[in-house]
Amino acid sequence: MTLAKRLIPIFCTALLASACSTPNTSSRFVVEPPSESQIETSVKEQVALTLNAFTPVAGQALPNNSVVEAYQARAYNPIWIQDKTINMSIYKLVDILEQSHSHGLNPIHYHTQIIQEYLALKSPTPQQLAEMDVIATISLSSYAHDLSNGRYEPQLIDPNWQLDAPNNNWKELLLLNSATDMVNSLPLLAPRSPQYQVLQKWLVYYQDLASKEQDIQVKPGVPLSIGDTGPRVAQLRARLVQLGDIRFSTRKINEEEFDQRLKAALIRFQNRHHITADGSAGSKTIRMLNVPLKTRAKQIAYNLERWRWLPSELEPNRVWVDLTNYTLDMYLNDEHTSMKVVIGKANRKTPVFKGLMTYMVVNPTWRVPHRIARENLLPKLQQDPNYLSKHGYKLYAHWGIAAKELDPTQINWKAISEDKLSYRFEQEPDEGNALGQFKFMFPNKNEIYLHDTPARHLFRETNRAFSSGCVRLEKPMAFAEAITKSSKKETDMLKDPSNEKDTVITLPTYLPVYLVYFTVVPNANGMLEFRDDIYDRDRLMEEAMGYKAFTPRESI
């Protein structure tokens, strides 16, 4: 008999029973209870069967071995039934799972309706009790995993997303003494970051608001600014109240008048949406104002999942490259400093990953990566064979140590295709070197690092995605001094870096480096900041998660 056919009678029994009776939590006491040995025998039989039947609906597959190990550790005693009585904690578990939407997860993935059908049975058989026990444990395990590590596999969503730091805290929960301890420990598995907690509260706000109110839309038209009057101004004011940029007040005002209070609120809105904060509602501002609440809820959910891919605890000393904010934040010895950065262009995305910075190079020679040589240098050489000498480059026959230096003017560059380019290009240290005076290294397979740049004008731009993937620093000297501060030798060396040529400095303390990507973050005032999705990664999240911004009364 197939697995599906074996399960059909089980679930039909549950559904028929629930259709003929009203669920009542008092039914947790089993009528004519079966013996404990009967239940234990059924649990052992049902573990493998039910695990195969209840594979995850979507997302990252849960390692089923953890559920098996949990039962093996208990000699297949049921987890949710003690003294022939269903433990009340299973009802609390169902409540928690039904609220999983508040973390951007979907309750349907945790089989709550099926568990409730079993709980509604007035006289469940040993087999039905065993099935319920195993399904509840699978649901607990799946939710514990998803809340702790994230539900989805980041690299299956985006190969350039390489930051995934799973932990085993959720597995340890399965080995606690009782079901009550397990359920009570579930909320502790969520990321403890204050940013996550604020995002999670805002998600609940947007979900509740979307379920209770219609989106207030501002009718497109001519820009609105201070002094304007009319119904569109009233729409603007009402939308800013709905989004939290204006606190509701009983003070009597002319809702159709664009006054200073409305301008200040609009500036707050523009700042947290990375729009030019001029206090005027032009077409871009109105377009942002009219983004539906449900769409915003989805964006928040994507970013909650991204937080779950990070380590459960971040190191107190770290370098944090915030790609969507074009900034580097350095947390060192209880001090926080920040500077602007330039990141990879849309067609040369800076990947998301974690590295360990171990050394820096003063006045580095730049060995041009293959991709940049093929895509940048070769076309320029095909136009001008003297390009290398004009810009301080040397040419070598190959990438080996003993490669012979060549004269680039003696090579027919037009006859060389990208896939046949095998030369090594090096740019000597000087004021025009693409790496500037400093290169900060955290070895990784992406060949990404932080560095100085002679193109200082780019830091005046608002959107700074101009590099070939590496991260350029606004204040490289200050950064170098900060990370070598505890070593007098290295600090002295930096007093006049122009005297040092291609010098490697080992850092006195290695520093973790995070390159992260968030499109929604809390700002300093606790309001949400919605950023441009510069690498179009939210669309990939939506495709992978199949997500709609459901409310407590909806599911996918």
What the block records as the tokens of 297 is 């809820």
- Quote the distance between the C-alpha of residue 12 and its chain's center: 40
Active-site residue identified among 109, 111, 273, 470: 470
Distances in whole angstroms, Cα of residue 196 to Cα of each of 92, 164, 332: 23, 16, 22
DSSP 32: S
Query: In angstroms, how far is the first alpha carbon of the chain from the final one?
Result: 31
DSSP 406: E
Placement of tokens 């950023």 in the chain: 531
What the block records as the tokens of 161 is 């997303």
For β-strands 465-467 and 335-344, DSSP reports them as: parallel
Closest CA to 448 of 164, 255, 132, 160: 160
The order of strands in the sheet holding 405-406 is 366-367, 424-427, 393-396, 405-406
Asked about 103 being catalytic, the answer comes back as no
Distances in whole angstroms, Cα of residue 506 to Cα of each of 362, 486, 488, 509: 11, 12, 13, 9
Dihedral over Cα of 21, 27, 33, 37: its sign: positive
> How crowded is the C-beta side of 369, counted as CA atoms within 13 Å?
14
User: Strand runs (DSSP E) across 442-549, as ranges?
Assistant: 450-451, 465-467, 471-473, 503-516, 520-522, 528-530
Dihedral over Cα of 501, 504, 507, 511: its sign: positive
Asked about 20 being catalytic, the answer comes back as no
**Are the C-beta atoms of residues 427 and 365 closer than 8 Å to each other?**
yes
Dihedral over Cα of 535, 541, 546, 550: its sign: negative
Q: Across-strand partners of 528? A: 522
Q: Report the alpha-carbon angle 332-312-68, nearest 5.
A: 155
Active-site residue identified among 20, 274, 451, 457: 451
**Are the C-beta atoms of residues 421 and 438 closer than 8 Å to each other?**
no
Catalytic residues: 451, 470
